[in-house]
Amino acid sequence: MKSRTIGNTSLQSGPLGLGCNRMLDPANAEMVAVANTAIDIGICQFDGADSYGAGRCEKFFAKVLKARRNEATIVTKFGMVRQPEGGFAVDGSPAYARKACEASLARLDMDCIDLYYLHRIDPKVPVEESIGAMAELVKAGKVKQIGISNAPAEVIRRAHKTHPLAAVQMEYSLLERSVEKEVLPACKELGIAFVAYGPLTYSFLSGAVQKLADLAPDDLFRRRQSRFAEESISHNLKLLAALDEVRAESGGTRAQLALAWCLHRPWDVLPIPGSTKLKHLKDNAAAADIHLTPAQVAKLDAAFAPEAVKGSAAGVAAPPR
């Protein structure tokens, strides 16, 4: 795979990164194989968070990636604090940033985090204070680069003015394009990489979800989203015909074409699809070899125009946990 850097930094990524929210078990042989194979084929950005598996994702990195530390770009996040009654609160305070970083370094069993994100913007704390604390972590040598996740363009600009951001991470896919209006142009202007989570809309764009019943009853993450309501699924399935038309011309799978579309945007977009299976990892990696013509990109742009999509990540399709 052709090597890419993350924004205006020396951190390596490859054309795609690896979303690791489900990489939690170092005793799972296939998960370990996925991690090692990813590095072997050039996918070296491993995206985790302290909230993924209540720290188990970071412990997975410690166990599986430490031997290949110089080949991997280790990414983690802070700011989402699990509550005793369930759910999460947001804490972007400087004191918590320092505390969370030390805890992550201990779980990672590493002395420096390559890329450290503020996972959510804390409405109680000016972003300048959160980023200022993260800048101190950079100065102390505990973090190489910083970023923020799920922030509007105005907050991104304020954060970047406080300390240069390497990356902004938000959801982006054919079905979720709201960031194109302000966030992506701001990132391009400022030289910040845009890391796209959910680039396959959680398996929908691959065609794996045909009806609400395809989701497990306890899959409340997707069931809470209005785009996975029955009427939204039936409507949006029709949009996949455009992927099939492009597939007839260029080959590849629906998922590969959806990822290739991300890589053909006029911005610096690094998709990070999640994979815990070797087959899915290799299939996703093949998207980097697909070349879409301007006409094909335009066809997908038109077919998946925001006004053509039904539902969103918002809305409740199942009672909260």
> Helices 278-285 and 29-41, interaxial angle, to 10°?
20
Residue 218 pLDDT > 90:
no
Residue that has been written with the tokens 């945007």 in this structure? 265
Residue 12 DSSP code? B
Is residue 297 domain-resident?
Answer: no
pLDDT digits (tens, 9 = 90+) for 153-164: 999 999 999 999
User: From CA 18, how far away is CA 73, in angstroms rounded?
Assistant: 10
Give a yes or no: residue 231 inside a domain: no
Count of domains observed in the chain: 1
In a domain, 157, yes or no: yes
- Residue 41 tokens read as 């084929």
- 162 assigned to some structural domain: yes
Is 84 a domain residue? Answer: yes
Report, as an integer, the average pLDDT of 259-279. 95
pLDDT at 88: 87
Residue 320 lies in a domain: no
Domain-located, residue 87 = yes
Cα dihedral value 287, 4, 11, 187, nearest 10: -90
DSSP assignment, residue 122? -
Residue 39 makes CB contacts below 8 A (sequence gap 6+) with 68, 71, 72
In tens, the pLDDT along 121-142 reads 999 999 999 999 999 999 999 9
Q: What is the dihedral of CA 271, 233, 177, 161, to 10 degrees?
A: -70
Residue range of the domain that includes 99? 18-203+262-291
CATH classification of the domain holding 276: 3.20.20.100
Per-residue pLDDT tens over the stretch 10-35 = 999 999 999 999 999 999 999 999 99
Catalytic-labelled residue, pool 52, 96, 172, 202: 52
- DSSP string for 20-46: -TT---TT-HHHHHHHHHHHHHT--EE
Instruction: Give the C-alpha separation, 167 to 144, whole Å.
Output: 12
Helix (H, G, I), strand (E, B) or coil at 56: helix
Let me know the angle formed at the C-alpha of 38 by 190 and 267, rounded to the nearest 5 degrees.
20
Q: Is 52 a catalytic residue?
A: yes
**Is 52 a residue whose pLDDT tops 50?**
yes
- Residue 88 domain-assigned (yes or no): yes
Measured at the CA of 308, the angle between CA 306 and CA 314, to 5 degrees, comes to: 60
**pLDDT above 80 (res 187):** yes
Average pLDDT over every residue of 261-288: 95
**Where residue 319 falls among pLDDT bands split at 50, 70, 90?**
very low
Token pair recorded at residue 13: 């990524």
Q: What is the pLDDT of residue 174?
A: 97
Cα 147 from chain centroid (whole Å) = 12
In DSSP terms, 18 is beta-bridged to 46
